[in-house]
């Protein structure tokens, strides 16, 4: 053990049936250091973090903590040592409140009211909007992430592991988080930071370890690197440049007018007077802070919530407000939800079986499944979208988050939809995969498909959208052509401050 290190890993290896996730990894983290771990999807980053946190046991190697060799047998032991982790896939109980979820990971000598008070204090001081009394099942992905971050901060960690912490945060919230992380580092807390956002790594981190194929391929000072050089280290090449070109929009495919829906639970968001159009051959982007009605809007458009007036949602002029998701798919509407496991895919089913959730062309009218063709279809998606895993027979939960995202987006794109609605299309995927997914979305648009993209990645929306909308407190802003918009303007609109907006919108969720 090198003296003065907070954490040292020596020769860490982990073998799964289909892949060697970690292969002899060495890693050193100093006190107060913000240390990035960079790698493409499936490079072994998340497995390595779970080993440090005690959620996965290594097959070989040693862990040293503050100079002492340790065997981290469980997350509870890790927390006792002073290690906290925020997972990319959240570890929250849906039926409990945010406060109860936080309480589970803390010293039980604390009473729930005291924990609730501390949550409010910590969330406020770090600029993280958390409502302690809300049941987790009513929270959006971004809101759940905030609960996870606050839970980790309440343990006063010596090492904080963050796996894609900003993937669904707004630029303003990211800036506030960075202030928090720098303060923690100044006080001696070490931070292991996993992100595919190269600009963030270069701006925030003191050191960077790069993984490829489960091995360390380099260590650099990210401040001295460019995005191109980091991409080269990570994926062996620079990400492809998107071929964006001017496109003339065609007929109206999706029209939403006068959509008003009351929230279905006490912590949801009412949709009020929603109206917009999406035309063939264009991408309309919807920006907004998590929890401002995105979930409710997506449910109304996908058919998960069929309470809308029939004519409030029309597809090629036909009212579909009361149609089921299956009937909408038959009419050409396909949908990628923001929540991968549980909504986009069944965790325990194979990738081939998961294609049957939305793709039924190889199912006969009598219900017989042509298994061979379904497996071939899944394998084609895997090959086209460069999904790393165990093949068509591997379970959805065995894939890394980014690889599962590539598969789900690929499943819907390859269905050749007439209208594709995607929520958070590149959440948690590496720069190469993000460029590929965005390129496929642009190609789909150029082929005449209408696309509605909901994302909290403003850079992504500006890169691929033709027009932009903002959702705040259940209302939509006017649309603006992307070439006339700016990040500053859209940021203001995300607070409900667009021209003509009701005064009650100011101060929308942030």
List the domain boundaries for the chain: 7-235, 239-332+417-510, 341-415
pLDDT in tens, 321-355: 999 999 999 999 999 998 888 889 999 999 999 99
Residue 401's pLDDT band, with cuts at 50, 70 and 90, is: confident
Cα angle 23, 26, 32 (rounded to 5 degrees) comes to 140
**Token pair 């005449």 in the structure block, residue:** 448
> Taking the C-alpha atoms of 240, 241, 242 and 246 in order, what is their torsion angle to the nearest 10 degrees?
-150
Identify the band that residue 1 occupies on the pLDDT scale cut at 50, 70 and 90: very low
Mean of all residue pLDDT scores within the chain:
90
Classify domain 239-332+417-510 at the CATH topology level: Rossmann fold (3.40.50)
Q: Which value, to the nearest 10 degrees, does the dihedral of the CA atoms of residues 135, 141, 147, 150 take?
A: -170
Q: How far apart are CA 39 and CA 402, in angstroms?
A: 11
Query: What is the helix (H) or strand (E) element at residue 333, kind and residue range?
Result: strand 333-336
CATH class for the domain made up of 7-235: alpha beta
Is the Cβ–Cβ distance between 273 and 283 less than 8 Å? Answer: no
The pTM of this model reads: 0.75
Query: Does 382 have pLDDT greater than 90?
Result: yes
Asked whether this chain's domains 7-235 and 239-332+417-510 adopt the same fold, the reply is yes
Q: How far apart are the first and last CA of the chain?
A: 44
- Kindly report, residue by residue over 78-128, the tens digit of the pLDDT: 999 999 998 766 778 888 999 999 998 777 788 999 999 999 998 887 767
Per DSSP, the residues of 76-142 read HHHHHHTEEEE-SS----TTSBHHHHHHHTS-TTS-HHHHHHHHHHHHHHTT----TTSBGGGS-HH
Give bridge partners of residue 9 from the DSSP assignment: 27, 63
pLDDT, position 456: 81
Model pLDDT for residues 204-234, shown as the tens digit of each residue: 999 999 998 899 989 999 999 998 888 888 8
- Inter-residue contact 336 to 408 (CB < 8 Å): yes
DSSP H or E segment with residue 420: strand 419-423
pLDDT at 125: 76
Q: How far is residue 173's CA from residue 126's CA, in Å, rounded to a whole number? A: 9
């Amino acid at each position: 053990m090198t003296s003065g290190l907070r954490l040292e890993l020596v020769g860490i290896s982990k073998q799964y049936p289909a892949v060697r996730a970690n292969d002899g990894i060495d890693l050193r983290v100093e006190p107060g250091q913000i240390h990035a771990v960079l790698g493409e999807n499936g490079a072994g980053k998340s497995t390595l973090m779970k080993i440090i946190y005690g959620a996965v046991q290594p097959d070989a190697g040693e862990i040293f903590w503050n100079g002492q060799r340790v065997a981290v047998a469980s997350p509870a032991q890790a927390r006792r040592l002073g290690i906290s982790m925020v997972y990319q896939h959240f570890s929250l109980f849906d039926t409990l409140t945010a406060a109860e979820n936080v309480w589970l990971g803390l010293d039980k000598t604390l009473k729930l009211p005291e924990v609730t008070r501390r949550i409010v204090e910590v969330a406020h001081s770090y600029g993280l909007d958390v409502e302690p009394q809300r049941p987790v099942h009513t929270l959006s992905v971004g809101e759940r992430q905030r609960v996870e971050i606050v839970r980790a901060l309440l343990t006063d960690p010596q090492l904080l592991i963050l796996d894609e912490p900003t993937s669904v945060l707004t630029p303003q919230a990211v800036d506030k988080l960075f202030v928090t992380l720098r303060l923690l580092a100044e006080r001696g807390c070490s931070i292991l930071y996993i992100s595919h956002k190269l600009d963030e790594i270069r701006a925030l981190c003191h050191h960077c370890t790069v993984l490829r194929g489960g091995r360390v391929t380099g260590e650099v000072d990210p401040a001295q690197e460019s995005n191109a050089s980091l991409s080269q280290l990570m994926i062996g090449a620079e990400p492809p440049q998107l071929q964006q070109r001017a496109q003339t929009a065609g007929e109206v495919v999706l029209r939403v007018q006068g959509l008003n829906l009351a929230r279905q639970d006490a912590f949801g968001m009412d949709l009020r007077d929603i109206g917009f159009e999406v035309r063939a051959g264009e991408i309309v982007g919807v920006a907004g802070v998590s929890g401002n009605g995105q979930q409710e809007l997506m449910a109304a458009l996908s058919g998960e919530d069929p309470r809308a007036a029939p004519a409030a949602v029309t597809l090629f002029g036909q009212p579909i407000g009361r149609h089921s998701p299956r009937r909408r798919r038959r009419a050409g509407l396909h949908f990628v939800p923001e929540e991968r496991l549980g909504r986009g895919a069944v965790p325990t089913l194979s990738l081939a079986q998961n294609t049957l959730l939305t793709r039924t062309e190889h199912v006969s009218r009598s219900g017989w499944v042509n298994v061979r063709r379904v497996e071939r279809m899944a394998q084609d998606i895997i090959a086209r979208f460069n999904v790393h895993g165990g093949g068509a027979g591997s379970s959805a939960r065995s894939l890394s988050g980014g690889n599962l995202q590539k598969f789900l987006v690929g499943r819907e794109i390859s269905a050749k939809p007439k209208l594709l609605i995607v929520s958070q299309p590149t959440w948690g995927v590496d720069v190469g995969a993000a460029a590929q997914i965005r390129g496929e979305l642009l190609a789909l648009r150029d082929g005449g498909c209408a696309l509605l993209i909901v994302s909290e990645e403003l850079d992504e929306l500006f890169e691929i959208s033709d027009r932009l909308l903002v959702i705040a407190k259940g209302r939509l802003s006017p649309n603006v052509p992307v070439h006339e918009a700016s990040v500053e303007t859209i940021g203001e609109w995300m607070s409900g401050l667009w021209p003509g907006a009701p005064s009650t919108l100011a101060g929308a969720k942030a």
